[in-house]
Structure 1
Amino acid sequence: MSFKIAIIGAGSVGFTKKLFTDILCVPEFKDIEFALTDISEHNLQMIKAILDKIVEANKLPTKVTATTDRRKALEGARYVISCVRVGGLEAYADDIRIPLKYGIDQCVGDTICAGGILYGQRNIPVILDFCKDIREVAAPGAKFLNYANPMAMNTWAAIEYGKVDTVGLCHGVQHGAEQIAEVLGAKSLSDLDYICSGINHQTWFVDLRLNGRKIGKDELVAAFEAHPVYSQQEKLRIDVLKRFGVYSTESNGHLSEYLPWYRKRPEEITKWIDMSDWIHGETGGYLRHSTETRNWFETEFPQFLASAEKPIDAAKRSNEHASHILEALETGRIYRGHFNVKNTGVITNLPSDAIIESPGFVDRFGINMVSGITIPEACAATCISSINVQRMSVHAAISGDIDLLKLAVLHDPLVGAVSTPEEVWQMVDEMVVAQARWLPQYADAVPAAKERLANSKVKTREWEGAARRNVRSIEELRVEKAALKQAV
C-alpha cells in the first residue's frame, strides 16, 4: 500500500515517534509517506532525524519529509493527525497561574475548567485553519484524527464548523482498563471485556466482564481498596466509584478538576490527591511534567537518537488508536475501540450535538459506533454540565464573543464552586489579555479588557496552590532516573 499521512504538531517528539513506530508495525504500511509539519523548525529537524534513523535501522522504504509549510505537508494526504499545543508551555503556564490568583487549583487544566476553556479558545481558530487546508489540498475524503486537547471542543469545532471527517482519539479508556484488570487479578488484559461511555475524560465503565463474569460495584470497590498502590493514588476516583456505582476512565488528578466537590477548598485538596506522581492531583502537575520532559529531551537528544537504531518490535505496538484505525480502514481487519464523535443516537441520555466517547468498530466502511447506550443518571448529569460548558466555549471561540466566554467559564463546575461572578469576569479579562497573541478572535475585546483590569477593585492573591512542586533540574532528573534503574 502507498498513501500519505500528515502529522501536524510533529514536534511533539515522543508522541510522534510512538505513532510512527505503531503504524509501521502494520506489514502493509512499509511503503507509505509521513509528512511532518510544525511551527518549530528546530523540533522538526530533531524528530525527522529520529524517524530517519528508525527507517534506516529497519531497512524500510518508508518516506519521511518535514516542512514548516503546513499546506505542503497536507497535499494529497489521506490521513491527517493533529497533536498540537497552541501557545506551547508559555500559554499553558498562564492557564495554571492566573486561575490560582482567583483560588482555582487545577492539576492539568487542558479539558474544561478555566485553563481548558482558554486552551480551547487558542486551539479552535487553528483547528479551523487545519480543516480549511484539508478540504482544499488533502486527498478527497481525508480523515482527520485529532489527538489534541481539549479533545471534545477541538473535535466539535472540526466537525461542526470545519466540515471535515473527524474522530477524536484518547488513551484514558485503555489506561483505566489496565488498572481494573490488575486489581481484579486478571492474568492478561484480554480477560477483561468492558464498555465505556460518556464524554472524553469523563467516560465511565458501564459494563465490566472478567472472563465473561459480570463485575459489580461492590467487588470493584473492594478490589481497589485492597490494592496497595491504587488505594492511595486513586482516593478521589474510588470515592466517585462508591457514590456513582461505576469507575471513571480518567486519572485521579484529571477527574478532580472536572467536578465541583474535591478541589474547592485548599484544606480539602490534599485529602483526595496523592503526590507520588503528578497525575494523581498535584497542582499544575502536568505543566511541571511537560516542562521537565521538554528540558530533558533537549539535553539528552543524542541518547534519544541512539535509541532509534533499535529494530521495530510489533509485539511492543502501543494501544494508541491511530495505527489500529488505519489498519482497519485500509485492510479490513476489524478493530474495536472507544472514539470521540458527534452524538447521533449513540448515548441516549446526552445531547445530540455533543462530542461523546463510546465504543465503535472500524473496518473498510469506516468507524461504526454502537448506538443506544444509556449511561447512569449521575454520570449523565456530570457529563451534561461539562457539555454545556464545552458548547458555550466552542461558540465563543468561533464568534469571539468575550461575554459568552465569561459565561462559559462561570458555568464550569469547579470554577463555579470556587469563584464569584466578579472574580470570573476579571479572571477571563486577565487571561485574554495575557494570551492575546494566540487569540485573534478577541482582538477587538482586548483594549476594553485592559481598561477594566486597570480600574478593577476585585482582590486577587499570589498563590502557588495547595500541592505545588518546583520544576526539577536536569541533574535532579538524572539522579532520579538512575535510582529507578538501580531499583529495577
Structure 2
Amino acid sequence: MSTFKITFIGAGSIGFTRGLLRDLLAVKEFSQIEIAFTDINENNLEMVRALCQRDIGQNGLNITISATTDRREALQNAKYVICTIRVGGLEAFSTDIDIPLKYGIDQCVGDTLCAGGIMYGQRGIAEMLSICSDIREVARQDVLLLNYANPMAMLTWACNQYGGVRTIGLCHGVQGGHHQIADVFGLEKKDVDIICAGINHQTWYIQIKHNGKDLTKDLLEAFEKHPDYSRTEKVRIDMLRRFGYYSTESNGHLSEYVPWYRKREEEINDWIDLSSWINGETGGYLRVCTEGRNWFETDFPNWMKNDPMIFSEENRGEEHGSYIIEALETGRVYRGHFNVKNEGIITNLPSDAIIEAPGYVDRNGISMPMVGDLPLGPAAVCTASISVQRLAVEAAVSGDDQLLRQAFMMDPLIGAVCNPKEIWQLVDEMLVAGEKWLPQYKDAIAKAKHRLANEPLLPTRDYKGAARLKVKSIEEMALDKQEANRNAGESDKGKVRI
C-alpha cells in the first residue's frame, strides 16, 4: 500500500474535486493515503468535504479528509498538489466577459486567451506564485504540482519559470476530440490511435490511425457528413478544411482564439450553434458555471441523500491526474497528453513555451518523446497564441501594464475588433475592475482610475453579445434536476452536449 499526502487547492470546486478523488481512490494501493482539502471559501469547502467524506465512508475506506482554509497547513508534507483554483470566482469572471463586450469583443468562454483569458491569467499567476512559495517551504522536496486551473499554459509557464515548483498542466480537451474522431469513423476510442500536439486548447491531431491505416486525410469528409458535428462544430471543421488538421478545443473555445469567426457581430451566428453553450454562446461558460454553483449551494442537502460515487476502475473518469499518480507510485505505464515546458519537444515552437504533447509515466517519472515539427499552418496558429501568453506571463510577474497592453494588442481576436486607443481604454477598465485581485498593478491601477475619471473617453456600447442567453433560475433548473446535477458536478461542463 502507498502512503503519501495529496493536497487539493481550490477544493471547493465540486466538479473537479469529487471526480478526481473518486479516480484516485479507485486505485487499490491508495486506500491509506492522506488527503487534505483547502479553499478560501469555508462554506464551499465544508460542503465538498462532507460529500466526499460520505463517498469515502460508503466505499468502506478508512480515510479522513483534512479540510482547512489554512493553505500552508494543508500543504504540509504533501507529495502531490492538485490545483483547481479560479481567482476572483464568478464575480471576476463576469468582468472578463462583460467589459470586453462594451468594445465589441464577444467571447464564449474567456478563460484561455483573448481579453478574458489574459486578465484571468493576471489574477491567477499572482496567486499561483504565492502557492508555489508555500509549496517550496512546507511540502516535500519531491512534490509535483498538477495544475488544472486556466489559463493552463500561462499558469503552468509561470509556475515552472518563476515559481520554482515542478508543474504539469492537465486538461481533458484531447480526450474529448479523440472521442469525436472515433465517432465520425464509427469506431471505439480505444481502437483509434492518435498523436496530438500543440499548445493547450490549440492541440492538433496530426496523426490518426486505425489498425495501422492512416485516417488523417479522411477526417474532413467524415466530419462534414456527420449529422451532429457538421452543425455544431462549424469553426473546427472550417479550421480543419483550411489548415488540414482537427483542433482539440470546442467550437466556442476555438472561435475566440483566432481572428476570423467572432470579429463581426452579424457573422457570429453563422459559425455557432445554441443547442449547447460550448458551441459558441456568448458568455456561455460563465452562465453554466453560475447555474452550477447556484444549484449546488441550493440543492446540497439532496446531494447528501443521493447515491455515493463508487470507487472502481470502471467508474474512473478520463482526467489525467489520478493515472499520473498511479503510474508514479505503482510503475504501471500511463500514456496521456501533458502540458510541459517545450525544450525541443515540438521543434518549430519556442523552447520556453508550454506545449501540450504525448507523454508516458511510470515509476521513473514523466517522459516526453520528441514530436518534431508541427505542420506549418498549425504551428503558425500556436505561435501567435504563444506570443500573447509570453507577454501576459511577463506582465503578471512584473506588474508591467505596458506588457499587459501589448498582450492585448497581439491577441488575434482583440486585434481584429479593436484599435490601439480602444485597447488602451479597455485595459484601463479591466485593471480597475480587477483591483482587489491584482496587487502587482497597484500603481498602474491608480493611473488608470485617473484617466477614466478625468480624460475624454472613447464611446462604448451597451452590448450583450450576438448570442447571450439568460442565466436559469433555481426554479427553471429544478425542472430538469438530472441535468442540473450533471452540470454542477462535472468538471468538463461541455462533455454532454444538449
Q: Is the 8 A contact 1:50 1:308 kept in 2?
A: no
Structure 1 Cα separation of the partners of residues 309 and 170 of structure 2: 27
1:210 match: 210
Q: Is the 8 A contact 1:32 1:63 kept in 2?
A: no
1:383 match: 382
Q: Is the 8 A contact 2:10 2:40 kept in 1?
A: yes
Output the TM-score relative to the length of structure 2: 0.95
Specify whether residues 37 and 469 from structure 1 end up closer, same or farther in structure 2 by C-alpha distance, changes over 3 A only: same
2:495 match: none
Range with greater deviation from structure 2 (295-304 or 267-276): 295-304
Structure 1 Cα separation of the partners of residues 310 and 324 of structure 2: 23
Q: How much does 1:310 deviate?
A: 4.7
Q: Does 1:158 align with 2:173?
A: no
Q: Does 1:456 align with 2:477?
A: no
2:116 partner amino acid? G
1:59 match: 60
2:203 partner amino acid? T
1:358 match: 357
Q: How much does 1:315 deviate?
A: 0.2
Structure 1 Cα separation of the partners of residues 211 and 66 of structure 2: 46
1:112 match: 113
Q: Is the 8 A contact 2:477 2:484 kept in 1?
A: no
What is the count of residue pairs matched by the alignment?
Answer: 484
Range with greater deviation from structure 2 (442-451 or 93-102): 442-451
Residues 124-135 of structure 1 mapped to structure 2, 5 A cutoff: 124-135=125-136
Specify whether residues 373 and 41 from structure 1 end up closer, same or farther in structure 2 by C-alpha distance, changes over 3 A only: same
1:197 match: 197
Structure 1 Cα separation of the partners of residues 18 and 126 of structure 2: 27
Q: How much does 1:32 deviate?
A: 0.4
Structure 2 Cα separation of the partners of residues 347 and 409 of structure 1: 26
2:239 match: 240
Structure 2 Cα separation of the partners of residues 467 and 310 of structure 1: 36
Residues 235-384 of structure 1 mapped to structure 2, 5 A cutoff: 235-307=234-306, 309-384=308-383
Q: How much does 1:163 deviate?
A: 1.0
Q: Is the 8 A contact 2:292 2:484 kept in 1?
A: no
Q: How much does 1:216 deviate?
A: 2.9
2:491 match: none
Structure 1 Cα separation of the partners of residues 354 and 381 of structure 2: 14
Deviations 1:299-336 (A, max 9, x none): 11122222353532320101100000000000000000
1:447 match: 446
Specify whether residues 412 and 160 from structure 1 end up closer, same or farther in structure 2 by C-alpha distance, changes over 3 A only: same
The secondary structure found in structure 2 opposite 1:306 is coil
The secondary structure found in structure 1 opposite 2:423 is helix
Structure 1 Cα separation of the partners of residues 137 and 207 of structure 2: 42
Q: How much does 1:160 deviate?
A: 0.2
Q: Does 1:423 align with 2:422?
A: yes
The secondary structure found in structure 1 opposite 2:356 is strand
Deviations 1:416-474 (A, max 9, x none): 00000000000000000011000000011112101111213311011000000010111
Q: Is the 8 A contact 2:392 2:403 kept in 1?
A: yes
Q: Is the 8 A contact 1:51 1:308 kept in 2?
A: no
Identity, in percent, stands at 59
Deviations 1:123-163 (A, max 9, x none): 10110011111111001110000000000000000000001
Specify whether residues 349 and 97 from structure 1 end up closer, same or farther in structure 2 by C-alpha distance, changes over 3 A only: same
Specify whether residues 109 and 265 from structure 1 end up closer, same or farther in structure 2 by C-alpha distance, changes over 3 A only: same
Structure 2 Cα separation of the partners of residues 483 and 401 of structure 1: 44
Deviations 1:96-149 (A, max 9, x none): 000000010000000010000000000101100111111110011100000000
Range with greater deviation from structure 2 (208-217 or 85-94): 208-217
Specify whether residues 252 and 310 from structure 1 end up closer, same or farther in structure 2 by C-alpha distance, changes over 3 A only: closer
Range with greater deviation from structure 2 (195-204 or 452-461): 452-461
Q: Is the 8 A contact 2:195 2:206 kept in 1?
A: yes
Specify whether residues 435 and 61 from structure 1 end up closer, same or farther in structure 2 by C-alpha distance, changes over 3 A only: same
Range with greater deviation from structure 2 (226-235 or 108-117): 226-235
Output the TM-score relative to the length of structure 1: 0.97
Deviations 1:173-195 (A, max 9, x none): 00000011111100x21100000
2:472 match: 472
2:490 match: none
2:77 partner amino acid? G
Structure 2 Cα separation of the partners of residues 482 and 157 of structure 1: 39
The secondary structure found in structure 2 opposite 1:307 is coil
Structure 1: 5+ residue stretches without partners? none
Q: How much does 1:484 deviate?
A: 10
Structure 1 Cα separation of the partners of residues 173 and 207 of structure 2: 16
Structure 1 Cα separation of the partners of residues 138 and 449 of structure 2: 40
Structure 2 Cα separation of the partners of residues 372 and 462 of structure 1: 47
Q: Is the 8 A contact 1:330 1:364 kept in 2?
A: yes
The secondary structure found in structure 1 opposite 2:65 is strand
Structure 1 Cα separation of the partners of residues 190 and 373 of structure 2: 25
2:202 partner amino acid? Q
Q: Is the 8 A contact 1:9 1:84 kept in 2?
A: yes
Structure 2 Cα separation of the partners of residues 310 and 464 of structure 1: 39
Deviations 1:215-269 (A, max 9, x none): 033x211211221111111011101101111100100000000000000000110
2:9 match: 8
Q: How much does 1:365 deviate?
A: 1.4
